[in-house]
Amino acid sequence: MTITDVGVVVATCHNALVLSASSSGNQTYLPLWGSEGATQLSYQMTILHLEAGSHFVYVKMTDNCPLPPFNLQWRRYTNDSVAYLTEALRGRRQAWDILNNV
């Protein structure tokens, strides 16, 4: 399986933000639904894919690092219980876009 296959699953199971980075592209995976009353994610994990050796490496990023685009599955299938994430992460998404337009 690839991170594209399981990124949303991992994010949903752990109520986490999963950031995937590789030379072929970067994506942010968010949970499709959350616990009732939850107003924040449990944690953030970054997975770096080293394609030459087909290895995945966990990378500790700062809590407010810029975020690449959200996975399309999240945009299509998200539940109202995690709708707050769009606004909560807006500044980090904008920071990514600014850095990539330079």
| Domain range annotation of the chain | 3-100
Residues whose CB is less than 8 angstroms from the CB of residue 75 and which lie 6 or more positions away in sequence, other chains included: none
Instruction: Give 68's pLDDT tier (boundaries 50, 70, 90).
Output: very high
- The predicted-structure confidence for 19-50, as pLDDT tens digits, reads as follows 888 777 889 999 999 877 677 888 888 887 77
The pLDDT assigned to 52 comes to 58
pLDDT of residue 57 exceeding 60, the answer is: yes
**The amino acid at 56:** F
pLDDT of residue 2 exceeding 90, the answer is: no
- Least Cα distance to 3 among 65, 42, 69, 47 occurs for 47
pLDDT of residue 1 exceeding 70, the answer is: no
Q: Could you tell me the two tokens for 89?
A: 């992460």
